[in-house]
Structure 1
């Protein structure tokens, strides 16, 4: 019985580190990734977006995995849906 308690006492710092890493690193990252996936799934025509490369534009068309972004009056660029970093302003209904 004494040996088991000593072994648990020796493992407790490692177990505490695993719990701390989970709550301060892994769990928040999973929440952020879930929010990004939700935002990318909810893209709509007319949304003002920013890509991961810093390009600002307005969503002109959406396909399954491709988003066409209107940069100015005559230029449209195609991006993967996963390249959208954030929605600056959603289209007003």
Structure 2
């Protein structure tokens, strides 16, 4: 076990110099690449989808046919800052939080 510790210790005499700086740079490269991959595959598409959803909510108006995140279909009867009132059946109105509107139906 002691021999393994000496084998992993590095060059004798503790010489680091230019090689030590290069080794630190080489260890940082995979981290930068992983961050780039996460950004382009996870973070960026999620931000784009959130922006599209905000645009959809801003364009919401009375008379739109919508589908909520829970799957409820209905027609918008009024829109406030955070509340949407929708008609799910003739004479049956429910209030939902505006952010739970998933899509506007295209009929």
**Normalised by the size of structure 2, how large is the TM-score?**
0.79
- Selected match of 1:69 from 86, 89, 97: 86
Paired residue for 1:82? 99
CA distance in 2, matches of 1:22, 1:83: 26
Paired residue for 1:40? 57
**Normalised by the size of structure 1, how large is the TM-score?**
0.90
1:32-67 CA-partner distances (Å, limit 9, x unpaired): 001101101110111110001100001111111111
Largest Rg, 1 or 2: 2
Structure 2: tracts of 5 or more residues without a match: 1-17
Q: Which runs of 4+ in 1 moved over 2 A?
A: none
Paired residue for 1:2? 19
Cα drift, residue 3 of structure 1: 2.1
Structure 1: tracts of 5 or more residues without a match: none
CA distance in 1, matches of 2:93, 2:38: 43
CA distance in 1, matches of 2:21, 2:44: 31
Cα RMSD between the aligned structures?
1.2
Q: Which has the higher contact order (CA 8 A, sep 6+)?
A: 1
Aligned residue for 1:11, secondary structure, equals: helix
Cα drift, residue 2 of structure 1: 2.8
